[in-house]
Amino acid sequence: MNLQSLTLTQARDLLDNRRLTSRQLTDYYLQRLEKYDSYINSSLLIDYEGASRAADLADHRLAHGEGGGVLGIPYIIKDNILTKGLKTTAGSKMLANYVAPYDATVVSRLKQAGAVLLAKANLDEFALGSSTENSAFGPTHNPYNLSMVPGGSSGGSAAALAADFCTFSLGSDTGGSVRHPASLCGVVGYRPSYGAISRHGLVAMSSSLDAIGVLARSAVDVATVMAIIAGPDKYDATASLVLEAPAKVNPIINWSKIKIGWPAEYFSSGLNSEVAEHLINIKNILSDKGATIVPVNLPLTSYGVSAYAVINMAEVSSNLARFDGLRYGHWVGGSNLLETYLNNRKDGFGAEVKRRLMLGTYFLSAGEGESYYKQAQTVKTIIAREFKEVFTQVDYLLTPATPTVAFPLGVKVNDPLSLYLEDSLLTPASLAHLPAVAIPIGWNLAGLPIGGQLIGKRGEDYNMLMVAQAIQDVINITPQLLPWE
């Protein structure tokens, strides 16, 4: 049977109809990982034994009449999400040998539902970056062109999916880290409304913005995973948003009832022309289908990245203070306590992490807090207000996900500002705590994926995913071959 690029929905059907076993599907991915991941470096750890065991267990449950959901479905998870008994490195030398004593809530929910964990995905160190080049364990390569970046920071999760190493994957999105690599790797990448998915067991980075997100081949697949992992959790007080999962995932949309906002600020001069053309083409298709397209304005969009940077760095400096090597983490030691702290942190953290720790500490220092952190919070509030106002006129916003397509490895790694700008179209939704999803919308002339973004109202995650699916169905892009296969 040809198992190539199965969606979760297709795999579900085959498993439930006994035409495929979870073990067969799991072996298919494990063999591909073994054969091809040396080209991609999507995964830091492949759990051959654990995955095989979980698959057999799922097959046992399937044989006893269970089915549906994610039972028997293999997935890969970003390595800043804790997995009991397996290393969780956060892409850092600091945690190179750290084994978590418990599972993150998303992991335990998926385990209970019978999903099969295959591997831990590469990422930018502590999820700080937009190219996965900040990983302490080497960069991940874009499956569609190995000399290009996969985006970041969940680059391993996106590349693994594009390379057909799993059926879905999890990442984390603080300022765009699920949507960015999804856009560059041609897969669907969803950031939930803030508070919809528990972050218990996610290595905290910027707590007022961090979210766990889902990557898959289709938006409907994302919704299936959401139905398992979302919902309140006694271990995370911020996971307080209750979303009503639709009884049946039905992507048939009455377009004449849908109002889609087209925000001018997302189509400014920095936008690559091929990306812009693809978006305009989709806008026209949706309009032909009967959707109402409404030009709208979100004037503070261009301040998103700066506000994000200040908030992010300030919170990073405080969250990462715990990594000092004393209780856990990289140990060098020294002749006194201060020297020990300095040595452990100097040797354990990479350059981008250090840059943010220093800037973040400065932004929070006495006398500067007012002029940086507080102002950034004000901008955040105004951006949220702008969205709220626009959402009184429209149901969704359609934008590009990233200003350009994948870029060559190495070209931006020493230019942090240009990497921060990669997220210019993604940070505003993060700051406003809105759900947003990157959708593959086509290919540029060089055969690299182009991503669009749909942003929804807070709490309207499932409806947004259904519209995203309907857009996928309408444009129905043709798959591209993987050059290394």
22/402 with CB nearer ligand GLN: 402
Distance CA 37, CA 438 (A): 24
Q: Write down the least CB distance from residue 198 to ligand GLN, Å.
A: 17
Assess 465 for contact with ligand GLN (CB under 6 A).
Answer: no
* Nearer to ligand GLN (CB atom), residue 141 or residue 356: 356
The interface region with ligand GLN, picked from 168-176, 253-261, 297-305, 474-482 by CB under 6 A, is 168-176
**Per-residue b or e along 87-109, where b marks 16 or more CB atoms closer than 10 Å to that residue's CB:** bbbbbbbbbbebebeebbbbbbb
Asked if residue 105 binds ligand GLN (CB under 6 A), the reply is: no
- Considering the rule CB under 6 A, would residue 153 count as an interface residue with ligand GLN? yes
Residue type, 306: S
* Residue 21 C-beta: closest distance to ligand GLN, Å: 36
Active site residue 92: no
Contact by Cβ (8 Å): 439, 455: no
- Closest to ligand GLN by CB, 416 or 459: 416
User: With DSSP H G I counted as helix, E B as strand and the rest as coil, what are the percentages for the chain, rounded to 5?
Assistant: 40, 15, 45
Residue 454 and residue 464 in contact, taking contact as beta carbons nearer than 8 Å:
yes
Rounded-to-integer distance, Cα 169 and Cα 212, Å: 11
Positions 412 through 431 that interact with ligand GLN (CB under 6 A): 423
Does 127 participate in binding ligand GLN (rule CB under 6 A)? yes
CB 399 within 8 A of CB 268: no
Q: Which residues contact 310 (CB under 8 A, 6 or more apart)?
A: 363, 372, 373, 375, 376
> Contact with ligand GLN (CB under 6 A): which of 92, 157, 174, 301?
174
Q: Is 310 in the site for ligand GLN (CB under 6 A)?
A: no
Asked about 153 being catalytic, the answer comes back as yes
DSSP letter assigned to residue 374? I
Instruction: State how far the Cα of 168 lies from the Cα of 142, in Å rounded to an integer.
Output: 17
Chain centroid, CA 403 distance in Å: 17
Phi, psi for 75 (deg, rounded to 5) = -140, 165
Stretch that binds ligand GLN, among 112-120, 123-131, 234-242, 317-325 (CB under 6 A): 123-131
Please identify, using beta-carbon distances, which residue of 173 and 324 lies nearer to ligand GLN: 173
Strand-strand pairing, 212-216 and 168-172: antiparallel
Closest separation in Å from C-beta 456 to ligand GLN: 18
| The one catalytic residue among 177, 183, 193, 206 | 177
Residue 327 DSSP class: S
d(C-alpha 91, C-alpha 15), whole Å: 34
Nearer to ligand GLN, 332 or 364 (CB): 364
Of 26-34, 124-132, 142-150, 318-326, which part binds ligand GLN (CB under 6 A)? 124-132
Q: Got the DSSP string for 132-193?
A: STT-TT----BTTBTTB---SSSHHHHHHHHTTS-SEEEEE-SSSTTHHHHHHHTSEEEEPP
121 binds ligand GLN (CB under 6 A): no
Phi, psi of 302 (to 5 degrees): -70, -10
Question: How many residues bind to ligand GLN according to rule CB under 6 A?
Answer: 13
The rounded distance, in Å, linking the Cα atoms of 261 and 270 is: 20
Q: Is 130 in the site for ligand GLN (CB under 6 A)?
A: yes
Q: In whole angstroms, how close is the CB of 480 to ligand GLN at the nearest point?
A: 25
From the list 131, 153, 157, 172, the catalytic residue is: 153
Report the chain's C-alpha Rg in angstroms: 21
Q: Is 145 in the site for ligand GLN (CB under 6 A)?
A: no
176 binds ligand GLN (CB under 6 A): yes
- For ligand GLN, give the closer residue by CB, 312 or 317: 312
218 or 312: CB nearest ligand GLN: 312
Instruction: Examine the residue annotation and report whether 87 is marked as an active-site residue of this protein.
Output: no
Tell me: does residue 312 bind ligand GLN (CB under 6 A): yes
Minimum distance, C-beta of residue 384 to ligand GLN, in the bound complex (Å): 18
Q: Does 189 bind ligand GLN (CB under 6 A)?
A: no
- d(CA 209, CA 238) in angstroms, rounded, equals 11
Report if residue 314 touches ligand GLN, rule: CB under 6 A.
no
Query: C-beta of 173: minimal distance to ligand GLN in Å?
Result: 5
Burial status of residue 220 (CB atoms within 10 A of its CB: 0-12, 13-18, 19 or more) = buried
Task: Choose among 191, 404, 401, 427: nearest CA to 300.
Answer: 427
Select from 129, 139, 195, 201 the one that contacts ligand GLN (CB under 6 A): 129
- 177 binding ligand GLN? (CB under 6 A): yes
Q: Could you give the residue numbers annotated as active site?
A: 78, 153, 177
Q: Which residues are at the interface with ligand GLN (CB under 6 A)?
A: 127-130, 153, 172-177, 312, 423
